[in-house]
Amino acid sequence: MTVTAFVPARSGSKRLPNKNVRELAGKPLVLWTLEACLNSEQVDEVIFSTDSKEYWELAKNYFNSDKLVLDDRSAEEAGDVVKIFDYLKCSVDKIFGARSGRFLMALPTMPLRTSAHIDGAIDLCNKRGRGVFSAVEYDFAISFAFITEGETDWKPVFDQSPMLTGNTRSQDQVTAYHPNGAIYLRDIDDLRQSQLKTIYQGCTPFIMDKALSVDIDTIEDFRLAEALLS
């Protein structure tokens, strides 16, 4: 089945300006993800979705690949209040045209995801016959989660919190996972279904290593990723 990768990279990052093209270990951030998709043995085409002509020229000149094509997003389509899943659903025909098969979304803030991860996720999708999303284990047992109330009080998120029961042995805590944003894979036609409310519906998790799940959001994340890459 045909697989079309979709890599979204808008230019309007506020916390870390131009984050998507900031250099990481000698290469602009977004190029790590585009390269992983282009080098995948099972990805047929890579759509780079951006509102920035500068980003597109950077990618096109670096790779010079016929597999790489542009989804030119307007300023409104790339606004900071626009959720990428909503954009995919509302613009599925604009983005994918007459393409069939599956799409694989790869967020550029996950530079340590490799083409081997992508191929592994596609293999899992083929094996299970359902969509896939990548995930990683939480760094700490979520059973200890609490919220603050006022300046001094706290309230556990879970009724059977170890902070209430005293059952704090690490061996007794359930291992929990969360999506890491590296890979989302499902049928393109799913985006045309009104009952699809989230990109995770009906999907199975593809578990990735913690060390390769660095999500770039701050300068500290950049430094961590650079340390791991070196």
Q: In the numeric block, which tokens belong to residue 165?
A: 């029961």
What percentage of the chain has pLDDT greater than the value 90? 88
β partners of residue 142: none
Torsion sign, CA atoms 189, 83, 121, 34: positive
Distances (CA, A) of 151 to 147, 148, 154, 155: 11, 7, 9, 12
Cα separation, 209 vs 135, whole angstroms? 9
Question: Global pTM?
Answer: 0.92
How much is the average pLDDT of 185-214?
97
Compute the mean pLDDT over every residue in the chain, rounded to the nearest whole number: 94
* Residues 130-184: tens digit of each pLDDT: 999 999 999 999 999 999 988 889 999 999 999 999 999 988 899 999 999 999 9
Which pLDDT value is given to residue 78? 83
* Residues 8-36: tens digit of each pLDDT: 999 877 777 789 999 999 999 999 999 99
* Residues 41-51: tens digit of each pLDDT: 999 999 999 99
How much is the average pLDDT of 109-133?
97
Which pLDDT value is given to residue 230? 85
Torsion sign, CA atoms 59, 64, 70, 72: positive
- H runs (alpha helix) in 68-190: 84-90, 92-96, 115-128, 162-165
Q: Domain residue spans in the chain?
A: 3-138+177-229, 142-171
Q: Is 90 helix (H, G, I), strand (E, B) or coil?
A: helix
Distances (CA, A) of 130 to 103, 126, 135: 12, 7, 16
Please state the φ and ψ torsions of residue 19, each to the nearest 5 degrees.
Answer: -55, -40
How much is the average pLDDT of 215-229?
94
Q: Compute the radius of gyration of the chain from its Cα atoms.
A: 19
Q: How confident is the model at residue 197 (pLDDT cuts 50, 70, 90)?
A: very high
Whether the CB-CB separation of 100 and 170 falls below 8 Å is answered with: no
Q: Which residues, at least 6 apart from 137, have a Cβ–Cβ distance to it below 8 Å?
A: 175, 176, 177, 207, 210
Q: Given this structure, which CATH class describes domain 3-138+177-229?
A: alpha beta
Whether the CB-CB separation of 204 and 132 falls below 8 Å is answered with: yes
